[in-house]
Amino acid sequence: MLGFFYSLNLLFPIQKHKNNLVLYLLLFIFIANPLQIYVWDYIGNFPANLFVWTSILASVGFIFIGLLKTYVTQTSKIKGIFETLSLGILAALVSYFVGDILESIITG
């Protein structure tokens, strides 16, 4: 996925600093977007299932990044979305199991 953002610098080398700014803003938006549900629940009472809604928002973020990637790499939209969404799901599963192992080590 970072190769997508690197390719922005190859396509528009004069605008390297602007491309880097766009990279950090996009990553911040897509990382912070699912977390807003937990902030909403902390401040008030979120009326729905937190896990389901954060999963939906994260998936929408990955789909959007996959679409942007296909624009730069000139590949199929379905393929780009599927690759990006698959990587996101795989990363979520790995982090879940690593967290579970670390929790069992810490709590003994």
User: What are the boundaries of each domain within the chain?
Assistant: 2-107
What is the tens place of the pLDDT at every residue in 21-56? 776 777 777 778 888 888 889 998 889 998 899 889
Start-end of H helices in 1-108: 2-11, 16-43, 50-73, 77-107
DSSP state, residue 48? S
Which tops the pLDDT comparison, 68 or 82? 82
For residue 11, give every residue at least 6 positions away whose Cβ sits within 8 Å of its Cβ, in sequence order, or none: 72
Which of 29-38, 75-84, 93-102 is predicted least confidently? 29-38
- pTM score of the predicted model: 0.69
